[in-house]
A and B are shown apart, each in its own frame.
Chain A
Amino acid sequence: MGVKKAITGAQAAAEAMRQINPDVVVAYPITPQTPIVEQFAEYVADGIVDTEMVPVESEHSAMSATVGAEAAGARAMSATSSQGLALMWEIVAATPGLRLPIVMSLVNRALSAPINIHCDHSDVMGVTTVGWIQIFSENGQEVYENLLLAVRVAEDARVQLPAMVNQDGFITSHAVEPVEIFDDALVRKFVGVRSMERALLDVEHPKSVGPLVLPDYYFEFKRAQEEAMSKVFEVYREVGAELSAITGKQYPFFEAYRTEDAEAVVVVLNSAAGTAKAAVDAMRARGKKVGVLKPILFRPFPYAEIRDALKDAPVIGVLDRSMDFGAYAPVYTEFRNALWELDKRPAMQSYIYGLGGRDVMTTEIETVFEELLSGKLDPEHQRYIGLRG
């Protein structure tokens, strides 16, 4: 049993970092990520953690310094949002190829322009192709546990890849909810200490990190990186089982909520999954068979498991909190791909919701379910929830 604290999602991330006690944290303030590093800086100032905190002048430098520390052999962490992620993109994209298991909080916020500080997923959906493990969190509790999990998955010898733990800007990061914080000693034993096997600062075994690789080898390194990503599934399950021993919870690749006999399923990431589950409960009470599938592990994407979970669903609506302009939305694309191999494919509908922090209500999701159940779909065109006009 842990201790329940009334804290924000940002503080939940900082609590996880306190227990992880990384060697180095480098970050640059950006709303709505700032309270994570503010809280963590207090832990550093109060001597509660042993971390060297490096203030830098930009996110590009933040990720560069995090990479440097991690390559040296440190356990290094960072946190960012939106434009900050965009500015660090060059180094974010280099990190998986360097096989550096950095863990970073991403507090999801809309990308400019127009400038907006509120939640959507346009920041993370711009980096899903570069090779970070992507984990999504519905609330502060999941943020906390996912960060603990991410450190172990990322650093596993079979993986050695960076991981981003996502939470919704403001909705999760700034809202106070009870979060159960588990015993420091147990959690610290679980996260352990990073292996120094690949440390650059090992004078007994000098090595070069990040050399130029031309057409004769680049392709092979990228193939090896893909192999590491494919190992994440088994490692995630193993590490999840270990974490379960502390928390008593399960760590599936996704949460299937009341989907077994569902005649319509809504797929949605992060905090809106909570809203969707409330809509499901309301509709179930009225005798409507509906369910929600909430992806948690988004990279690597568990195609086979998703396919199995949705094989009996007659109709699926996928809700995206970002757009891929001129193309199918990112989450919808993955689910279409996942279900292609089914003999009897479900009907599908893409919905866009909540851009720039627009609220999504249970009633709106109930309307989506009614639409899905009515069969009046238009798979060629995405629909918009809560949009004027």
Chain B
Amino acid sequence: MSERKAWQELELGLALPAATSLGYKTGGWRVLRPVWNASECTHCMICVGYCPDMAIPVRQTDEGVPGKGGRVFKGVVRLEGNLDYCKGCGICAHECPTKCIGMIREEEAEQAACKL
């Protein structure tokens, strides 16, 4: 539903194709943005499980990724958050046992990106 259809083009009774929420990017609602410090992360998956928008993707790795204390974490590890869907609720930052996720104001993040 990201395009703008006229009323004559709509499906009856708002019946939509399945999985349309993929096309509905809710990241625009965000006021605070999570910033993940990978070097302090233990890949415990708590943030992944708590995220209400499933906006923290994971992958399987045998070679591993570096994390807290320079340790290499193998198996299922988290990736950068998906800002297309992250609404900035901050639950991940609140739950993180190592406090490796910070919340910064969206405009600060955008200003920092502009300076870069």
Contacts and interface: CB of A to CB of B under 8 A. Distances in A.
Given A209-B15, A213-B14, A224 B7 contact: yes
Nearest to A228: B12
B10 A224 contact: yes
A91 to B, nearest CB: 14
B15 A208 contact: yes
Interface stretch (A5-13, A95-103, A112-120, A261-269): A95-103
Contacts, number: 54
Interface string A145-162: 000000000000000100
Interface stretch (A38-46, A214-222, A330-338): A214-222
A99 B10 CA distance: 12
A210 interface: yes
Contact of B14 (A97, A216, A219, A223): A97
A389 interface: no
Contacts of A206: 17-18
Interface string B83-116: 0000000000000000000000000000000000
Interface string B1-39: 100111110101111111010000000000000000000
Interface residues of A, number: 22
A210 B11 CA distance: 12
Query: Contact residue range for chain B?
Result: 10 to 19
Given A216-B4, A217-B1, A220-B5, A207 B10 contact: no
A200 B18 CA distance: 11
Most chain A beta carbons < 10 A, residue from B4, B8, B10, B13: B13
B33 to A, nearest CB: 23
A160 B12 contact: yes
Contacts of A221: 7, 10, 14
B17 A211 contact: no
B49 to A, nearest CB: 25
A227 to B, nearest CB: 7
A220 B14 contact: no
Given A206-B18, A208-B20, A198 B13 contact: yes
Nearest to B11: A207
A216 B10 CA distance: 13
Interface of A: 97-100, 160, 198, 200, 206-211, 213, 216-217, 219-221, 223-224, 227
7 contacts: A160-B13, A208-B15, A208-B17, A213-B1, A216-B1, A220-B7, A224-B10
